[in-house]
Amino acid sequence: MKISVIIVNYNVKYFIEQCLYSVFKSIKKIDAEVWVVDNNSVDGSCALIKEKFPQVKLIENKENLGFSKANNQAIHLSSGEYILLLNPDTVVEEDTLSKVIQFMDNKSDAGGLGVKMIDGKGNFLPESKRALPTPEVSFYKIFGLSKLFPKSKKFSKYHLGYLDNNKIHEIEVLSGAFMLLRKTTIDKIGVLDEDFFMYGEDIDLSYRIIKGGYKNYYFPETTIIHYKGESTKKGSINYVFVFYNAMIIFAKKHFTSKNAKIFSFLINIAIYFRAFLSILKRFIKITYLPILDAFLIFLGFYIAVPQWEKLKFETFSYPSYYLYLVVPLYILIWLISIYYSGGYEKVVKFVNVLKGVIFGSVFILIIYALLNEHYRFSRILILFGTLQTIISTVLLRYIFHFIKFSDYKLASKKKKKIIIIGNIIESERVKQILSQVEINYELVGLVNVQDTKNTNYIGNVTQLKEIVKINRIDEIIFCSKDISSTDIISNMLQLSDLKVDYKIAPPESLSIIGSNSINTAGELYIVDFNSITKEKNIRLKRLFDLFVSVYFLLTFPVQIWFIDDKSNFIKNILNILFGKKSWVGYSDENLITKYNLPKIKTGILSPIDIAQKANYKHEIEVNFNLSYAKNYSLLNDFLIVFKNLKYCGRKKKEQ
């Protein structure tokens, strides 16, 4: 056996499908085996692998053992002369494995090898080649000097920025995304250190390879795509703690006591510094727009109230608490209403902002009408506040969009211009997927993979750059059944100077996958079966829960007579008000893992209650829950609660 490819998978079903498809094309003429170690995924990954790739040697773990342990499971069982540790969110070229094997065969001193990696937009990934994170190197990296001097031999050593990306080099650290290892080397130095759960094991193994008398090589004569998933987002607090603690483990293991202490001291400073920045950044990202909205609305009242007092009254003025208590309450109601109307989504629709302000104003006026006359200050100021809130919130979002500030942008009716590269049959299949996903797009045309004239195509792949420029294409979808991974990657590199996105459609798949940057998770076009998890529906469902709970509290003396379990009714209301439960959830929590349903809060009632039958088959129960998750509707929740009022005191869902 020449090579054993080992992939550790955890809840990346559609990425591993694309990865395996490219791997099997790459080992077509090689004596090879492919291992997938699944760390207890709940997204249907194992079922997909068994169905589409029965030749894969699949290990199904019952818990998430981490990257090192999972890889070691397969390493111990493998029989290849070479071991390739490969991430599931990668795409390799057809000749990637034959090229790297040939290089290793000719380099007897090579213990490990890494390749040139690009992200889903064709940008070079600097982690393709790295140096050991010594205290000095880590200091320059942690405190940003490596970014300031990306080509400096001294300051940019972490990512070896001074080395040519397109030439073969000896390096110190290989990337765990693609790590080719000689089996005899592993037998000598040992397998991955299982003290490392997720990060750092590649650095540790790379260093042990060098200490064992071997060399690590960076080999750019083949290129792979490496999408960057949620688990590798550098801004997350979890990443900060896990990654930097892995560095401490590495330092204690390999550095002298003195250097390890210096390194640990630096790392601990970095952990708290980065964690603080991460928390602060997240807080600002979530709150800065509502805070700015609140400030502008309050500023409007601050200017308008004294002017209105002068105009309306001679001696009377509003009490001081009006401006500093009542007005902030108005603002809070408007902001909450804007949020639940979708006014704080990344893609802003002015109609959602407008709806939020109007609903908020109606709510304020209703409360105003119920108050004692002594606390009714001015309807004119409420109406002024409504108008001023609409103007300030809309204007602020327009300015942000115009200056391209932050992630917020205005919803546009402009369609995303897409071309599909592939043959007619596969292109038609991809068009069917696109027609069932929620994207606003215009299919400009099909591009032929062959250099032949055909009226069904707007051109062929050799004319791709001209096609993109002339038609102002926003996105290219490659049909991987018809165009090789090598050609896909080659075209991405050639077009890297153009602002165009890329997606790849694996054969016989419902998914189309791509990624826009090294810091974003791979984007996925797929027929939407999980609409209940959309941000809009999550908000609506929570708003419905709050509305029904408040209604039940206000009408409690009446409602209590219709409830079967009266003693538990008030407890359910409070649990839902505090966000612990929902009025409607799945009929059985086990369905979440068994049928890959999106996770939602435990419900008092369930979709099966709409049938109002005591006995039903399991298949019917599953279909009701699947339909509820796939086609979420506020009306469904309302009907379920309305028709099952007497069960709203239920202690637990009836199975």
Whether the per-residue pLDDT at 107 is higher than 90: the answer is: yes
Whole-number Å distance between alpha carbons of 582 and 549:
10
Average pLDDT, integer, range 45-52: 90
Residues in the chain, total: 655
Lowest mean pLDDT among 297-306, 309-318, 574-583: 309-318
* pLDDT at residue 346 greater than cutoff 60: yes
Q: CB count, 10 Å around CB of 326?
A: 17
Contact in structure between 68 and 192 (CB atoms under 8 Å): yes
Q: Is the pLDDT of residue 365 over 70?
A: yes
Place of tokens 């390799």: 92
Closest CA to 121 of 271, 35, 225, 203: 225
- The alpha carbon of residue 17 and the mean position of all alpha carbons in its chain are separated, in whole angstroms, by 18
Q: Among the listed ranges 5-19, 131-145, 411-425, which one has the minimum average pLDDT value?
A: 131-145
At 583 the pLDDT is 93
- Say how far apart CA 59 and CA 40 lie, in whole Å: 10
Closest-CA residue to 485 (of 5, 13, 2, 20)? 20
Burial of residue 376 (CB within 10 Å: 0-12, 13-18, 19+) is exposed
Quote the pLDDT of residue 253: 62
Residue 5 in contact with residue 48, Cβ under 8 Å? no
Q: What's the pLDDT score for residue 274?
A: 65
Percent above pLDDT 70 for the chain: 84
pLDDT value of residue 421: 95
In three state form, how does the secondary structure of 207-241 look?
HHHHHCCCEEEEEEEEEEEECCCHHHCCCCHHHHH
Distant-in-sequence, close-in-space partners of 622: CB < 8 Å, separation ≥ 6: 591, 595
Average pLDDT over residues 79-108: 95
- All domains of the chain, ordered by start, with CATH? 3-129+165-224 (3.90.550.10), 284-410 (no CATH), 416-526 (3.40.50.720), 531-647 (no CATH)
185 to 129, 203, 215, 243, 508: CA distances (angstroms): 20, 16, 10, 26, 39
What pLDDT score was predicted for residue 241? 57
Q: Say how far apart CA 409 and CA 418 lie, in whole Å.
A: 21
* Residue range 332-337: mean pLDDT, rounded: 93
State yes or no: pLDDT of 229 exceeds 60. Answer: no
* Alpha-carbon span 309 to 319, nearest angstrom: 11
Average pLDDT over residues 21-48: 91
pLDDT confidence of 298, banded at 50, 70, 90?
Answer: very high
* Cα–Cα distance, 48 to 506 (Å, whole number): 13
Contact present, 496 and 594 (Cβ < 8 Å): no
Rounded to an integer, what distance in angstroms lies between the CA atom of residue 162 and that of residue 524? 35
Judge whether residue 257 has pLDDT over 70. no
Helix (H, G, I), strand (E, B) or coil at 187: helix
**Bridging pattern class, strands 501-505 and 475-479:** parallel
- For residues 249 and 195, the answer to whether their CB atoms sit within 8 Å is yes
pLDDT value at position 76? 94
Residues 6 or more apart whose Cβ sits within 8 Å of residue 648: 552, 559, 563, 569, 572, 583, 604, 605, 641
Work out the average pLDDT over 101-108: 95
Q: Which pLDDT score, from 0 to 100, does residue 101 have? A: 97
Q: CB–CB of 330/300 below 8 Å?
A: no
Instruction: Give the C-alpha separation, 536 to 525, whole Å.
Output: 18
Determine the residue type at 108. Answer: S
pLDDT at 232: 45
- Strand ranges inside 318-362, DSSP E: 347-348
Between residues 201 and 334, the one the model is more confident about: 334
When mean pLDDT is compared across 153-157, 487-491, 574-578, the lowest value belongs to: 153-157
- Cα–Cα distance measured from residue 509 to residue 19, given in angstroms and rounded to the nearest whole number: 13
Average pLDDT over residues 81-110: 95
More confident residue, 88 or 653: 88
Cα distances (Å, whole numbers) of residue 596 to 43, 502, 509? 6, 28, 17
Tens digits of residue pLDDT in 153-179? 888 887 888 899 999 999 988 988 999
Instruction: Out of 241-245, 368-372, 640-644, pick the least confident.
Output: 241-245
Taking a C-beta distance cutoff of 8 angstroms, is the pair 433, 445 a contact? no
Gyration radius of the chain over CA positions: 30
Residue 521, pLDDT score: 40
pLDDT of residue 79: 94
pLDDT at 106 over 90: yes
More confident residue, 266 or 571: 571
103, 120, 121: which is closest to 112 by C-alpha?
A: 103
For the ranges 49-58, 79-88, 97-106, 584-593, the lowest mean pLDDT is seen at 584-593
CA distance 420 to 346: 28
Whether the pLDDT of residue 470 is over 60: the answer is yes
**How large a percentage of the chain has pLDDT more than 90?**
39
Confidence of residue 518 (pLDDT cuts 50, 70, 90): very low
The pLDDT value given to residue 595: 63
Mean pLDDT for the stretch of residues 558-577: 88
For residue 652, name the pLDDT band (cuts at 50, 70, 90).
low
For CA atoms 118, 478, 520, 66, give the dihedral sign: negative
Q: What pLDDT score does 174 carry?
A: 92
**Segment 134-142 mean pLDDT:** 70
63: which 2 tokens? 């818990």
* Average pLDDT value for the chain: 84
**Is the pLDDT at 488 greater than 50, yes or no?**
yes
Split at pLDDT 50, 70, 90, the class of 655 is very low
> Which pLDDT score is estimated for 234?
46
Among 278-292, 380-394, 582-596, the least confident range:
582-596
HEC assignment per residue over 284-321: HHHHHHHHHHHHHHHHHHHHHHHHHHHHHCCCCCCCHH
Task: Identify the CA nearest to 516 among candidates 474, 552, 562, 481.
Answer: 474
DSSP string of 410-437, one letter each residue: E---PPEEEEEES-HHHHHHHHHHHHTS
